[in-house]
Amino acid sequence: MKVYKTNEIKNIAILGGSGTGKTTFAEAILFESGLIKRRGTIDAGNTVSDYYPVEKEYEYSVFSTLLSIEWKNKKMNFIDCPGSDDFVGGVISALNVTDMALMLVDASTGVEVGTINQFRYTEKLNAPVVFVINKLDHDKADYENTLTNLKEVYGNKVVPVQYPVTSGTGFDSVVDVLKRKMYKWAPDAKAPEVLEIPESEKERAEGYYQALLEAAAENDETLMEKYFDKGTLTEEEMRDGIQKGMIARDLFPVMCTSAEKNMCVHRVMNFLSVVAPSPDQMDAPINTDGEEVKPDSNAPASLFFFKTTVEPHIGEVSYFKVMSGKIKEGDDLANANRHSKERLGQIFSVAGQIRSKAEHLEAGDIGAAVKLKDVRTGNTLNEKGSEQKFDIIKYPEPRYRRAISAVNESNSEKMSEALTRMREEDPTWLVEVSKELKQTIVSGQGEFHLRTLKWRLENNDKIEIEFTEPKIPYRETITKLSRADYRHKKQSGGAGQFGEVHLFVEPYVEGEPVPPIYKFNGQEFKIQSRDVQTIELEWGGKLVFVNSIVGGAIDTRFLPAILKGITARMEQGPLTGSYARDVRVIVYDGKMHAVDSNEISFMLAGRNAFSTAFKNAGPKILEPIYDVEVSVPGEFMGDVMGDLQGRRAMIMGMESESGFEKLKARVPLKELSNYSTSLSSLTGGRGSFSMKYATYELVQSDIQDRLLKEYEASQNED
């Protein structure tokens, strides 16, 4: 493949919900470009894009796939993205390194929740969008309804460039209002016949043409003046206006295809080759110092790695975008994230498993390298003279979690290594070895996401694993004031151990000062806050430690030991052994011995005094609460709300967005274990949700009683 300049490069993400035909469309693109001689099919498992064993097994895109082709003296880097929301990581990484999105919409189903979700990511990244209404030959295809649906959701920015004469099983003709021609396919014809628009379609075509003409003119003052002066624009001027409208996201052109029959794909590629923006026409990315980095081929080279795969017989394949400069085989670069040196071996332009050696790649281009020594997804490599670093990809919070373990314990280490490797390929998988829960927790975007992980471990790595319900990271706290004292005394010949600690514990409330007097069991205790330490606990919440010792009852050198004993005890609460949090401890008195007092004595005295006081301070269990946002078609709202309320949800609000209903709620993590599956079942796969940790709240008394009994039973078993 020849070397292309920045202004000759088009980077395009292929998006669309599940079942919209993206993989088939990608196959047609490769066929039209001449890169493949025969189109594969999903049923046959021989497509270029979905080539991993797990994708062939499920007939589902799991990974995004780079497809680089040459077309009309341009290099077009397509990234075919998964449609399922479970694999959204591929969509997000692709949108961060491409310059526009091609959004496929199924003509038989219209705008669905997958379309809404993926379009929302294009909004966040300000990416231009071209809609492609696909599957126009489907027996239930309805172009007009789909177009109306798009306009209802995205407004009058949606403007057709083409429309089918008829949709459904009789689909064989498309009117191109930009070209002002009709394309008609005879049965089994490889290319269409280009005809004049028939009389029966002229009025309809003229209406669409005027709408496109006005939309193109609106985005450029010079074009607007020409339009007002002449009443029309040339095709080239219209293309220029369309491109400017796309970049400003004021225009979303609509194209038509049947990817399965390879109808109109060629025309879509021609359209993209002239209207898709090149990297130098888009806003420059921002580095971690907040500076713009323009795609300048004359600047020092800087590469951002957005994707890693592990392929049989090859090993790691690392995909990158050239953010600035130019690179060639043998270049020595510095890893800005890992502070290591890296030499580029061979560099490639890639189309799935088809790799073409690249002489060099210029700013804005996308390529791949193999067997790099120390590069991870998200890293930046720089040429000498450049110190760029990029942190541009922000992945969503996980929504589905399971405890994972190897059936054969001897495979545990091998499983951990495989999970680490797989997370490199898909950063939306999170793996945590929880000391607290004594489980390895793997979190992802949904049940299918984790089922895919399980399939790969068992079939590719030959490690049989099992998923179990993860434990909930409960917390313990107190609800009232309590007092305790404890004397630690031990004598065993020679120097002994002695330490005595008197303390109060009470719930910690942000901003509430330490009172000057505590009243407890009819007594008054005056408090002098000589020193206050606020400790941010690594498991969340705070411990506030107040030194109120007067008269030297305990030497200040022993206070760190008392605090250490208290902190150690907070790691295992008395109710369920969970971490304790949000407690204020006031040490106000004690005793020491001139010879026998030491740090271990006061650590044990502090630990035991705190334990006694905590148990008498109305201890309660806290559970993690998550903010949940659910997006569903209106007809499912009642069922979804009822289901959430059955999960102890607190409904926070509702609103409409893009033709869907959005429901916000706060839900205990315990109740979200199988929510991904339930929502899909309730809505026929048309609902989606996101979840994010919000806070900890007290559990209901009946749930606390059950948790206490379960903990007691588990302790007896141990």
- Give the 3-state secondary structure of 529-563: CCEEEEEECCCCCEEEEEECCCCCCCCHHHHHHHH
389 falls within a domain: no
User: Do 115 and 171 share a structural domain?
Assistant: yes
718 falls within a domain: no
User: Do 460 and 545 share a structural domain?
Assistant: no
Q: What sign has the CA pseudo-torsion 312, 314, 318, 319?
A: negative
Mark which of 471, 505, 520 sits at the end of a domain: 471
Task: Say which amino acid occupies 706.
Answer: R
Residue 10 vs residues 79, 122, 123, 276, 590: alpha-carbon distances, Å: 11, 17, 19, 6, 74
19 falls within a domain: yes
Is the pLDDT confidence value at 658 over 80?
no
Residue 527 and residue 515: Cα distance in Å, rounded? 7
Contacts of 590 (CB under 8 A, 6+ apart): 485, 499, 500, 501, 502, 549, 553, 554, 605
The CATH number of whichever domain residue 505 belongs to comes to 3.30.230.10
Query: In which residue are the tokens 């790695």 written?
Result: 305
Domain that holds residue 417: 400-471
| Beta strand 252-256 pairing with 158-160 | parallel
pLDDT (mean) for 45-50: 84
User: Do 346 and 204 share a structural domain?
Assistant: no
- Report the pLDDT value the prediction gives residue 58, as an integer from 0 to 100: 79
638 falls within a domain: yes
pLDDT confidence tier of residue 654, bands split at 50, 70 and 90: very high
- Report the pLDDT value the prediction gives residue 492, as an integer from 0 to 100: 72
Give the CA count within 13 Å in the CB-facing half-sphere of 277: 24
239 falls within a domain: no
- Report the pLDDT value the prediction gives residue 493, as an integer from 0 to 100: 66
**pLDDT single digits (tens) 104-133:** 999 999 998 889 889 999 999 999 999 999
Is the pLDDT confidence value at 718 over 70?
no
161 falls within a domain: yes
pLDDT (mean) for 563-579: 92
Task: Calculate the average pLDDT of the chain.
Answer: 93
Is the pLDDT confidence value at 603 over 90?
yes
- Report the pLDDT value the prediction gives residue 220, as an integer from 0 to 100: 86
Pick from 494-498, 526-530, 591-595: least confident: 494-498
Mark which of 418, 453, 471 sits at the end of a domain: 471
DSSP-derived secondary structure letter, 8: G
Query: In which residue are the tokens 């008392």 written?
Result: 562
- Report the pLDDT value the prediction gives residue 154, as an integer from 0 to 100: 93
Phi, psi of 168 (to 5 degrees): 110, -160
The CATH number of whichever domain residue 443 belongs to comes to 3.30.70.870
As a 3-state breakdown, the chain gives helix, strand, coil percent values, each rounded to 5, of: 30, 30, 35
pLDDT confidence tier of residue 660, bands split at 50, 70 and 90: confident
User: Do 632 and 533 share a structural domain?
Assistant: no
Task: Say which amino acid occupies 614.
Answer: F
User: Do 600 and 689 share a structural domain?
Assistant: no
pLDDT (mean) for 155-174: 95
Burial code of 302-323, b = ≥16 C-beta within 10 A, e = fewer? bbbbbbbbeeeeeebbbbbbbb
Tokens of 236: 């080239």
Q: Give the alpha-carbon dihedral of 329, 356, 14, 265, to 10 degrees.
A: 150
129 falls within a domain: yes
- Report the pLDDT value the prediction gives residue 353, as an integer from 0 to 100: 86
Is the pLDDT confidence value at 198 over 80?
yes
User: Do 176 and 35 share a structural domain?
Assistant: yes
Phi, psi of 70 (to 5 degrees): -105, 135
390 falls within a domain: no
User: Do 537 and 487 share a structural domain?
Assistant: yes
Mark which of 580, 599, 618 sits at the end of a domain: 618
* Residue from 584, 571, 586, 626 nearest 479 by CA: 584
What is the enclosing helix (H) or strand (E) of 565? Answer: helix 559-570
Domain total in the chain: 5
The CATH number of whichever domain residue 118 belongs to comes to 3.40.50.300
pLDDT (mean) for 669-689: 89
**pLDDT single digits (tens) 361-407:** 999 999 999 989 999 999 999 999 889 999 989 999 999 999 999 99
Residue 510 and residue 325: Cα distance in Å, rounded? 51
User: Do 574 and 516 share a structural domain?
Assistant: yes
Residue 613 vs residues 189, 316, 482, 548, 567: alpha-carbon distances, Å: 85, 56, 5, 17, 14
Pick from 88-97, 176-185, 214-223, 266-275: least confident: 214-223
Question: 366 near 279, Cβ under 8 Å?
Answer: no
232 or 685, higher pLDDT: 232
Phi, psi of 7 (to 5 degrees): -75, 0
